[in-house]
Amino acid sequence: MNAQFKKGVLELVVMSIIRNGDAYGYALIKKISDRINISEGTVYPILRKLVKEGHLSTYFQESHEGPARKYYSLTDSGRDQYERLASEWEEFAAIVQFFINKKGDSDGTQ
């Protein structure tokens, strides 16, 4: 997948996963990489940014498999931001789909 496509949408993907339940970094990476080829270092800067902006909060939870894990959850601000991003994405995707479906229409008019 084109790197620019991924870069532009990963924040929304991360927030979508956390919206469905709190998650720790490695679990997020695993869920995303099952569908999109990403490097491990791609997600952590997004998480730091979202925490700094107040869209995510963090807490530690003990793990049966090693040290405590840092979990991320959406704040009220994060839920609002998620709704804005999701709405913008749906509008953008519809516009792109319009142009994809307009094969052979050189001037873009109907």
Q: What is the mean pLDDT of residues 78-89?
A: 96
Average pLDDT score over residue span 76-96: 95
Q: Which of 11, 26, 10 is nearest to 71 (CA)?
A: 26
- The answer to whether residue 110 scores a pLDDT higher than 60 is no
Confidence grade of residue 105 (pLDDT, cut at 50, 70, 90): low
Stretch 32-46: mean pLDDT, rounded? 91
Contact call for residues 79 and 34 (beta carbons, < 8 A)? no
- The structure's pTM equals 0.85
Pair 5, 27: CB distance under 8 Å: no
